[in-house]
Amino acid sequence: MSSSKKKNVTPAQDSYQQLAQKHEIKRPVVKNCIRAFFVGGLICLFGQGLQVMYYTFFDFTERTAGNPTVATLIFIAVLLTGFGVYDRFAQFSGAGTAVPVTGFANSIASAAIEHRTEGYVLGVGGNMFKLAGSVIVYGTVAAFIIGLIKTILTQWGGL
């Protein structure tokens, strides 16, 4: 709390804040970070296994196997979100499920499911890209800037 706000606190409020701080549940930050690291890694390991399967058993090269891999991961995440499994899994693992592409698919599917009662156009279509829209915009801008930097460096013979 800032010192200016602390000056205006009454003794009763101060004792309540101390009591509340004493009973506040301490979050296991290290445990949560380790859990997120391993769950995110397992999702990526599963994705890598899918990619190897696509270029080993199907007519894909290592370079082209990424597209069906991402599509499969998105499909599985949306399916698990629809059944309510992904949310329980995300509750356990925290940010580990939010970082891979499956977290992005979950955010879109969750918004679509939440707003389906408002109709398909205004409910599902209008609300499912609220969170995803900012990710798409900033991802596109970042890709443009990185591409521009790479082009400039390539023209100067750096890469």
40-88 confidence digits (pLDDT tens): 899 999 999 999 999 999 989 988 999 999 999 999 998 998 898 888 8
CA distances from 22 to 15, 17, 19, 26, 32 (A): 11, 8, 5, 10, 22
- In this prediction, residue 18 carries a pLDDT of 85
The CA distance from 68 to 49, in Å, is: 12
- In this prediction, residue 159 carries a pLDDT of 55
| Global pTM exceeds 0.85 | no
% of the chain beyond a pLDDT of 90: 27
Kindly give the interhelix angle for 66-82 and 101-114, rounded to the nearest 10 degrees: 40
Please enumerate in sequence order all residues whose Cβ is within 8 A of that of 38, keeping only pairs 6 or more positions apart, or say none.
96
